[in-house]
Structure 1
Amino acid sequence: MRRTALASLAGATLEWYDFQLYGWLSALAFNQLFFPSEDPIIGTLLAFMGFGVGFVIRPVGALVFGHLGDRIGRRSTLLITLLMTGLPTVLIGLLPTYAVIGVWAPILLVALRLVQGFGLGGEFGGAALLVVEHAPNGRRGFLGSFAGLGNPVGQLLSIIVVFTVIASMPESAFLGGGWRIPYLVGVIILIAGLYVRFRIAETPSFARMKDQGQRHRVPAGVLFRRYPLTILKAWGARVADAGTWAVFLVFGISYATSEVGISTSMTTIGVALALMMQILVVLWAGRLSDRVGRRPVIMIGAVVIAVCVVPSFLLIDTGNPLLLWLAFMLGFPIGTGMIFAPVGALLPELFDARVRFSGTSIVFQLSSVAAGVVPSIATALLLLGGHRPWLVCAFVVVLAAITFVCAHCLPETYRRELDAADQAPAATTTA
């Protein structure tokens, strides 16, 4: 189980390391190097749109890799997704900028983001199944949280690398080429992830399904016929997590530095502190979900998000770095950690083994689209609100309400026998 949990964590860490790099650099470098504009906020908006395309393509990858995961196996599919995640990272670090090749620079950047996003479509679903289908009853929530743990671990790793690079050179050197270093470091995580995943076995659920000849020819077709309401409710149960993450860790960085005038280094420290806190919350919430259920933990997380978003932005608006750190620790890690931790077990528990990779991947990536489009939405709301963040806060409260209601409407799964889901009532169109 330790090796399997590590394999799940390795891929998820690479996923979030890669994607968060673009989030940091959208506001720190790419708005100038790949999307230059006379108005800085327009350049940032264009960079955020480039951030979003990688998320928009992820549901397509979820369909493709979900099919492969349910047909050829979890392990083989995860090796493919890991390569498609890691190789574009290295190539982005080698891309010439707008000043060198003109419009081809943003085109190539967006193209690599599309390839990366396509590969990521199957990454979380497979990483979650890898550990959950090996886990004993009563520990799936905690062990499944290792797939979610890759979120704060990968982001924290990316921020440590970016902060180190920024602190070690002047801004001109960073923009001149220092921004490439974090991307090239990604090759180390890629190699480590491949090494760990090559050493794990196929999951018992898939091996049993294969031996008994129970695989569907087109798993996604069966999934959408049997589980339409489950897919919709599970999507809503995650949307506040994905949206709040984007508001604080993509839009929030730009807001704090560009609108409030807090230095990049102080903002970076605040985010790092919040991510360290989220690591603890994810582990705690995953274990808690094994005791009280997945739904209560997610619903409490949604309430925390709704209650904390306005105070968090009030603290950011003070311009005080210490209060900024408190704002990030209050507004982001607790609520999103409580939602994200149980998801690694909840989504696999909602679907039977024959469509489990497809169902987990599709639901997760559809909800992740919110994370891709929210920075652009938040920036537009900031402009509509006269450069004040209150429309953004209202938007986050709406997302939290959606998650609360949808989680309440889902069946509780923490005591369910995982491979008995084939016969469970929840595995029907009325689930």
Structure 2
Amino acid sequence: MTKLASASVLATALEWFDFLIYSTASALVFGHLFFPSLEGALGTIASFGTLAVGFIARPLGGIVAGILGDRFGRKGPLVASMVIMGVSTTAIGLLPGYDTIGIWAPILLITARLVQGLGVGAQWGGAALLLTEHSPVARRGFYGSLVQLGAVAGIIIGNAFFLGILLFVDETAFAAWGWRVPFLSGILLVAVGVFVQLRIEETPVFKSMQAKAAAKSTASNMPKVPILQAIRIYWKEILQAAGAFFVVNGTFYILISGMLSYGTANVGLSQTTMILVVCIAVATQIVTIPFFGARSDRRGRRRIFLTGTVLMGVWAFPFFWLVDTGNPVLVTLALIVALTFHSMMYGPQAALFAEMSPADVRYFGASLGYQIASVLAGGLAPMIMLSLIEATGTSASVAGYIIAMAVITFISVFTIKERFQADLHETSADVEQRTEREQASHASS
């Protein structure tokens, strides 16, 4: 588990580093570099629009990876996602700006971002199942939370990278070449993918499915549940997963990306200060995410998740009251509290999603639900945030937006059936047989 957890955290950290440095660059430099004809906030909004494009591609990546992962194993799609992400991130670092190649600059940027979206859409389900399906039942929440920890580590590394560059080069050099350095490091992810392919074993749950298939048939292929059938049978679980992730994903991008632009343009703090503040606040999740993941191993997933949802909604207005003071200490405090409530949901999430679906549709169901929310919530959140502020002139509108997302998440999680420490080896056929036995027993009694 130590080797597996280390490899999973490293792979996830690098993958999310690649995906999330785009959000930082969108807030700081992409507006005037790729959309120079749009002034001020309009250029930043257009830049965040290209950020959203990556999220649009994520469900497709999740669907393809889910089908392959349930059919051929969890590891292959995960490795492929690393290679795709590494290559596309490096390509962004090499792109010339609008002044050099004109309209082709934003077109190629959007294309590379779409490919990034496919890669990260395939990644989460594979990484989450690689850990949760390997982990001891009593520690599933803790090990599953390490996947989320990798995403946080990617943010910290990415923002620290940008912060270090801003400290050593002036704004002109940063706009010319400094922002490219983090993107060029994306090639490291390809090397990690090769390591995972060679050194990490397939999950026991998938091996169990293979053994069941071999016992029932001479065919070497895994039995499969057709996509439309999986959606027809498990549509409720897919929508519940999407709704559960709504406020988690939406507030995350407001806090780590939207705040970079809001803090500099509306509150008056410097870019360096805002990046440092975000880094400090996100760093606290290194402790809080595994803490709440482990806590869910003792108290169940839903209770902790629902508590975090309510607290996030309640904190929405006080959060902006503190941020709008422009005091860096109070801004940091506001972010730390918000991200702690975020960890209450994000920590138990991998285990919660893994326990919602049978083994033969788990990769597909978890990935699709996760990535649907990433489009409707996370990908649009920074753009919606800035648009609301432009339209209303007040941060109160964004607080209301956060509360609305919290309501969606609360209803979704409240309707999820708690399957705390469920047997992850159960397939759709096993669930159907168990349900028939329970119905027969109930009828006879």
What amino acid is aligned across from residue 340 of structure 2 in structure 1? Answer: I
Partner of 2:368: 362
1:22: Cα distance to partner?
Answer: 0.9
Distance 2:118 2:225 in 1: 19
Distance 1:304 1:154 in 2: 25
Distance 1:85 1:155 in 2: 16
Partner of 1:154: 154
Distance 1:148 1:393 in 2: 25
What amino acid is aligned across from residue 417 of structure 1 in structure 2? Answer: D
What amino acid is aligned across from residue 10 of structure 2 in structure 1? Answer: A
What amino acid is aligned across from residue 95 of structure 1 in structure 2? Answer: L
Distance 2:419 2:137 in 1: 11
Where 1:377 maps in the other structure, the secondary structure is helix
Where 1:96 maps in the other structure, the secondary structure is coil
1:286-297 mapped onto 2 (5 Å cutoff)? 286-297=293-304
Contact 1:226–1:427, Cα closer than 8 Å, also in 2 = no
Deviation sequence 1:337-395 (CA, Å, 0-9, x none): 11111111111111111111111111111111110011111121111212x11111101
Partner of 1:64: 64
1:38: Cα distance to partner?
Answer: 4.4
Partner of 2:397: 391
Distance 2:304 2:124 in 1: 20
1:250 aligns with 2:252: no
Distance 1:190 1:99 in 2: 31
Deviation sequence 1:95-147 (CA, Å, 0-9, x none): 11111101101100110010111121110000011011111111110011111
Where 1:351 maps in the other structure, the secondary structure is coil
1:185: Cα distance to partner?
Answer: 2.1
12-21 vs 276-285, greater mean Cα deviation: 12-21
Partner of 1:337: 343
Partner of 1:101: 101
1:289: Cα distance to partner?
Answer: 0.6
- Call closer, same or farther: CA 1:116–1:153 in 2, change over 3 Å: same
- Call closer, same or farther: CA 1:8–1:426 in 2, change over 3 Å: farther
1:318 aligns with 2:352: no
1:235: Cα distance to partner?
Answer: 1.2
Partner of 1:43: 43
49-58 vs 400-409, greater mean Cα deviation: 400-409
Partner of 1:233: 240
1:65-144 mapped onto 2 (5 Å cutoff)? 65-144=65-144
What amino acid is aligned across from residue 363 of structure 2 in structure 1? Answer: F
Which segments of 5 or more consecutive residues in structure 1 lack a partner in the other structure? none
Distance 1:135 1:397 in 2: 35
Partner of 1:353: 359
Where 2:43 maps in the other structure, the secondary structure is helix
Distance 2:175 2:42 in 1: 19
- Greater Cα radius of gyration, structure 1 or 2: 2
Distance 2:197 2:145 in 1: 18
8-17 vs 174-183, greater mean Cα deviation: 8-17
Distance 1:362 1:115 in 2: 17
Deviation sequence 1:243-284 (CA, Å, 0-9, x none): 101111111111110111111111111101111111211010
Out of 270, 279, 285, the position equivalent to 1:263 is 270
Distance 1:159 1:70 in 2: 35
1:193: Cα distance to partner?
Answer: 4.5
Counting matched residue pairs gives 426
1:62: Cα distance to partner?
Answer: 0.9
Contact 1:227–1:427, Cα closer than 8 Å, also in 2 = no
TM-score computed with the length of structure 2 as normaliser: 0.92
Distance 1:233 1:281 in 2: 24
| Identical amino acids, percent of aligned pairs | 39
TM-score computed with the length of structure 1 as normaliser: 0.95
Distance 1:391 1:65 in 2: 37
What amino acid is aligned across from residue 191 of structure 2 in structure 1? Answer: I
What amino acid is aligned across from residue 401 of structure 1 in structure 2? Answer: V
62-71 vs 316-325, greater mean Cα deviation: 316-325
Distance 1:426 1:274 in 2: 48
What amino acid is aligned across from residue 247 of structure 2 in structure 1? Answer: A
Contact 1:241–1:335, Cα closer than 8 Å, also in 2 = no
Distance 1:27 1:153 in 2: 20
Contact 1:7–1:193, Cα closer than 8 Å, also in 2 = no
Contact 1:35–1:106, Cα closer than 8 Å, also in 2 = yes
1:169-208 mapped onto 2 (5 Å cutoff)? 169-208=169-208
1:37: Cα distance to partner?
Answer: 3.2
Distance 2:302 2:260 in 1: 31
339-348 vs 211-220, greater mean Cα deviation: 211-220
RMSD of Structure 2 on Structure 1 (CA): 1.7
Distance 1:92 1:130 in 2: 29
Contact 1:247–1:378, Cα closer than 8 Å, also in 2 = yes
Contact 2:209–2:425, Cα closer than 8 Å, also in 1 = no
1:15: Cα distance to partner?
Answer: 2.5
Contact 1:350–1:427, Cα closer than 8 Å, also in 2 = no
What amino acid is aligned across from residue 311 of structure 1 in structure 2? Answer: P
- Call closer, same or farther: CA 1:95–1:427 in 2, change over 3 Å: farther
Partner of 2:32: 32
What amino acid is aligned across from residue 342 of structure 1 in structure 2? Answer: P
